[in-house]
Structure 1
Amino acid sequence: MTASLFQPTQLGQFSINNRIAMAPMTRSRTTQPGDVPNDMMATYYGQRATAGLIITEGAPISAVGRGYSLTPGIYTQAHIDGWKKTTQAIHDKGGKVFIQLWHVGRRSHESITGEEIVSASAIKEADKVFGPLPDGGFGMIETGVPRAMSIADIQQTIADFVQAAKNAMEAGFDGVEIHAAHGYLLDQFMRLASNQRDDQYGGSQENRMRFLLETVEAVVDAIGADKVAIRVSPHVVEGFADFDPEIEALTLKVLEQLAPLNLAYLHFSENISKYVEAPESFRQAARQVYPNTIMVAGKLDKAKAEALLSKKYADLVAFGTPFVTNPDFVHRIEHNIALTDFDADARLSLYGGDEKGYIDYPTAEESLTV
């Protein structure tokens, strides 16, 4: 029998109400100073808790891991206490939530991190991120030049991921998603263009995937595999000039190593920024080596999502921008109700700002009463 989008399913040790996830999306709405999650964020996520699973926007695991201004961290007690409001709001509505653990590596600037940025190697790629402007506001700024991480830096970063995962448990999250996609730190170690190391973390495919595997295993040891997920994006070229000719093969090797861990899910991010379409042959190969729960995100609609479930290429499907403008997205697509467009105004309010374009989008039912 083909799985339905709206059918409850098991995720780790708990059940979720449907197979629809709200994908992680940076919104930069924290309270300053300290980048602290706040009541407005709790309202935003609570409004969308009918998703079977919510994955929060990326939460930096450390100051040096930060790549976008105003993003909510998970490395101080104030962050933990602030996030408790969000997890409570989601749980009160019967939802489940994973926090995305984030280290951007070279996709940052010293004015954002407060210290020198880092990567696999001291290689800069032309790139822009959301940071402080000279006039005191915020906007897109060019990234800085990273320094190559030492072995001590790598070990400290693994420890930071572990501590962030423990902090997430204290904050009430159901699990964590390790961000190894979109040209961020773990992805930088995996790709040829950004990793020119000659030690045990560079060179061969096995060496270039070592940092990711050691990080996942350490987090699993700390909080349990059923509470750990990972996001990868082999077909997305974000943060790089060109497609990596080895990334598909390397990713399949990663999946083979991850499969025995029985993680909560594996999350493929697709069809954003610069990308190539994920070929059918890759989906088949991924399913062959990874029999556990797979989630796919990337400009899906209802028909595309159902097709992925039907072919068993995915067990869960994630939607991003439709959730921005449709807090009741699940209800709308289940009952074929028209969606509020993610238009130019919605794009303008994506990063930073206040309640406008954040928590003021009405549900379909509320629109009828206006």
Structure 2
Amino acid sequence: MTTAFDPVDLAGTPLRNRVVMAPMTRSRAPGRVPTELMAEYYAQRASAGLIISEGIQPTPEGQGYPDTPGLHFAEQVAAWRRVTDAVHAAGGRIFAQLMHAGRIGHPSVLADLPGDLHPVAPSAVAAAGQLYTAEGLKDYPEPRELTGAQVRQVIEGFAAAARNAVEAGFDGVELHGANGYLIHQFLAPGTNRRTDEWGGSVDDRVRFAVEAVKAVAAAVGAERTALRISPGNPFNDIDEPDPLPAYTALVAELDPLGLAYLHVLEASPEVRDVTTQLRKQYSGTLVLNPATDGPTDHGVLTLVEDGTADLLSFGALFLANPDLPARLAAGGPYNEPDRATLYGGDHRGYTDYPTL
């Protein structure tokens, strides 16, 4: 019987176990450049089978939040190399998550960058809610609708950032197609009201995700390319009342590509049926960020044993427990995450969580 603690080959990348550190924005990259403290943070968690980095903007306008890192200029590439070297020295593996926030952002976050930058999206539909900025909470603005030519430029931006990620020493890249960010905005009918080749029918709404994945795979290899999705996730004002048709169409396009993995985030227990359907349809490696009854629900480990997933990813639990695989194997105990220090700040609530 396969367990979460067994090694696995991830399209040629050997992993020591099947416990994955999920991507988590921490907003600790002033000037959009990774720091030595970030290298320490990730290296502390290198006992994971795989680390997936925090969301990294592939292009300047893809930034959604203050103090998030990028992979679009040389200083960032060099700084990320220090992070990946630290993880590899500790015996770990790390993928870069490329996250274009789309309409989830604000011009004030981009104000110090050259050019007239503004959040963009498939359609000019503002998200409900507010964003924390250096100037306080601000309503999400109406985004600029991407032209067809600009859509192609964004796709090339993903590919260029993927090349930078490999140059920076990452073992691969994961495109963020979940949680209401740009790729998810193309998939969802409420945020994608286009009538051209990039919107309308299910096949056209999934086109952006497919083309972005194909472009990254062409740039760095399919074995180094992955995609994260969250079917039916309402986060960031997304409305997907019937997600299954779009995601089965998407997976049908992805399955022949030979990707490193498909990463499914369950926003609630109600979408397990969707996960089960996608698991049956997808012949490659599936990483699951499962909906649980609590942060220390050990029942989730059986999801590897029963074949629901090949690997399991954990977010806040890994944030607070740098040695999470050992704690899962021992049945705990677990540190509780300090919610006050999740975003921004110094080492407190970042690199000072104790190990067993």
Normalization by structure 1: what TM-score?
0.91
Q: Deviations over 1:243-266 (max 9, x none)?
A: 413422100110011000010000
Matched, 1:354 2:346: yes
Q: Which residue of 2 aligns with 1:126?
A: 128
**Whole-angstrom distance in 1 between the partners of 2:347 and 2:298:** 32
| Cα separation, partners in 2 of 1:245 and 1:283, compared to 1, 3 Å | same
Distance in 2, Cα, partners of 1:147 & 1:234: 25
The alpha carbon displacement at 1:299 in A equals: 4.8
Aligned to 2:114: none
Distance 1:248 1:220 in 2: 25
Q: Which residue of 2 aligns with 1:171?
A: 168
Moved more, 104-113 or 303-312: 303-312
- Supply the AA of the counterpart residue of 1:355: H
Equivalences for 1:115-264 in 2 at 5 Å? 115-133=117-135, 140-240=137-237, 243-264=239-260
Q: Structure 1: 5+ residue runs without aligned partners?
A: 134-138, 365-370
Alignment of 1:1-370 (within 5 A): 1=1, 3-31=2-30, 34-114=31-111, 115-133=117-135, 140-240=137-237, 243-271=239-267, 275=268, 277-280=270-273, 282-300=274-292, 301=296, 303-342=298-337, 346-364=338-356
Q: Deviations over 1:193-242 (max 9, x none)?
A: 1111111111100011111111100110111000000000013111126x
The SS at the match of 1:234 is coil
Distance 1:195 1:142 in 2: 20
- Matched residue pairs, number? 348
- 1:302 Cα deviation from its structure 2 partner: 5.4
CA distance in 2, matches of 1:151, 1:276: 37
User: What letter matches 1:157 in structure 2?
Assistant: V
Q: 1:125 deviation in Å? A: 1.9
What letter matches 1:87 in structure 2?
Answer: T
One-letter amino acid of the counterpart of residue 98, structure 1: F
What is the letter of the counterpart of residue 354 of structure 1? D
Q: 1:276 to 1:314 in 2, by over 3 A?
A: closer
1:305: how far off? 2.4
Change (3 A) 1:23 1:239: same
CA distances 1:180-199 after superposition (whole Å, capped 9, x unpaired): 11111111111111111111
Residues 297-345 of structure 1 show CA distances to partners (whole Å, capped at 9, x for unaligned) of 1454453322211221100000000112111111111122310112xxx
* Distance in 1 between residues matched to 2:133 and 2:10, nearest whole Å: 36
Cα distance in 2 for residues equivalent to 1:305 and 1:74: 34
CA deviations 1:164-193 (Å, max 9, x no partner) are 000000000000000011111111111111
- Distance in 2 separating the partners of 1:189 and 1:247: 13
- Distance across 1 between alignment mates of 2:290 and 2:233: 10
Q: CA deviation at 1:140?
A: 4.4
Q: Distance in 2 between matches of 1:96 and 1:9?
A: 12
Could you say what the CA RMSD is over the residues aligned between the two structures, in angstroms?
Answer: 1.4
Match of 2:133, SS state, is strand
3-state SS in 2 of match to 1:279: helix
SS at match of 2:253: helix
* SS of corresponding position for 1:156: helix
Q: CA deviation at 1:127?
A: 2.4
- Shift of residue 158, structure 1, vs aligned partner: 0.6
Query: Identical aligned pairs, as a percentage?
Result: 40
Aligned to 1:136: none
Contact 2:57 2:70 in 1 (8 A): yes
